[in-house]
Amino acid sequence: MSKNIVFMGTPKFAVPILHELNKSSDKIVAVYSQPAQKAKRGQKLVISDIEELAQKLSLNVRTPTKLDDNEYSYLKSLHPDIVVVVAYGKIIPKFFLDLPKFGFINLHASLLPRWRGAAPIQRSIMNCDKETGVSFMKIQEKLDTGPYMLQIKTSINNEMNYKELSEKLSKLGAKNIVKCLDLIFKNKAKFINQDNSKASYANKIKKSEARIIWSDSANKIIAKINGLNPFPGAWFEYKNSRFKLLKAKEVQKKSGEPGEVLNEKLTIACGKNALEVIEIQKEGKKVLKINEFLSGNFISKGTKLR
């Protein structure tokens, strides 16, 4: 028998999962997403990726500013069998959690209990992790602490950035979401409690973290560059302008103080080794390959960046 599903999600990461659920034999009775946000330029209201998809699929869309008593009553009227949450961006109130027969199931982009919280993908890259994955878990009152029924692992290479890893994990989630729900509906899902002693937390990325600290090792700086690409972007200052680094590689350093430009190709000394810039973006300008950038910008050897 077809089940009633409510989906809660907001960013592009959640889009493939909603697509897969919509193709299943179950019925999506409502889609919840964050309200439209003002764009940085022009201050126009921009709807979320999930709201946009839901409209295209002619699904019932809800974008409440908060999950209150009125929203609880509406959700209850839908008679949901399960609520699937993927990067919704709001804490689900405790009194909501017992409403659906099979509870709230969350797709989290890490191997829980590692990297609980808002930015698991960025933190895994910035921490130079070699492995991550997705966890299908029950939502409980405390953030990302519920038992999981399935974890799928995948590797992280040194060149992978946030966008690439996010897309990879999203596809893993989409590939397995229908199978997970089928196990739950047939009461065949086996949930495993998390080991709280092994928990780590992926706090939301602060703007102050994006500044490059040249005394860090090249390896750590490149991990920051990759983890914050494309947004907000790791940056440095030169002549009162910000420059984002989008791609770089580590090279051996024979001399030079941290932040010192070592040659005309914009190789920059770090606390350990150096980084060779591959892609760069001056504030207000487009992303350029380093050769394109250097044809119109000159940062001389010996310059100390900050």
Q: How confident is the model at residue 122 (pLDDT cuts 50, 70, 90)?
A: very high
For residues 243 and 289, what is the distance between their CA atoms, to the nearest angstrom? 13
Residue 288: pLDDT over 90: yes
Q: How confident is the model at residue 41 (pLDDT cuts 50, 70, 90)?
A: low
Q: What is the pTM of this model?
A: 0.95
> pLDDT at position 298, please?
87
Using a CB cutoff of 8 Å and minimum separation of 24, what contacts does 16-19 make? 16/170, 16/171, 16/173, 16/174, 17/84, 17/86, 17/107, 17/170, 17/173, 17/174, 17/177, 18/50, 18/53, 18/54, 18/57, 18/86, 19/53, 19/174
Q: What is the CATH number of domain 4-198?
A: 3.40.50.170
Q: Does domain 207-296 have CATH number 3.40.50.720?
A: no
Taking only the tens place, the pLDDT of each residue in 214-235 is 999 999 999 999 999 999 999 9
List where CATH 3.10.25.10 sits in the chain: 207-296
How much is the average pLDDT of 264-275?
97
Are residues 279 and 247 in contact, defined by beta-carbon separation less than 8 angstroms? yes
Are residues 306 and 259 in contact, defined by beta-carbon separation less than 8 angstroms? yes
SS3 call for 132: strand
Please report the beta strands in 53-92, taking only residues with DSSP state E, as ranges in sequence order: 61-62, 82-86
For residues 80 and 22, what is the distance between their CA atoms, to the nearest angstrom? 15
SS3 call for 53: helix
Q: How confident is the model at residue 306 (pLDDT cuts 50, 70, 90)?
A: confident
Rounded to a whole number of angstroms, the distance between the first and last alpha carbons of the chain is 62
How much is the average pLDDT of 291-295?
95
For residues 179 and 176, what is the distance between their CA atoms, to the nearest angstrom? 5
Structure tokens at 193: 């409690």
Residue 38: pLDDT over 90: no
Taking only the tens place, the pLDDT of each residue in 107-118 is 999 999 999 999
List where CATH 3.40.50.170 sits in the chain: 4-198
Rg (CA), the chain: 22
How much is the average pLDDT of 168-188?
98
SS3 call for 14: helix
Q: 217 Cβ partners below 8 Å, 6+ apart?
A: 270, 271, 272, 273
Q: Report the 10 Å Cβ neighbour count for 242.
A: 15
CA atoms within 13 A on the CB side of 29: 16
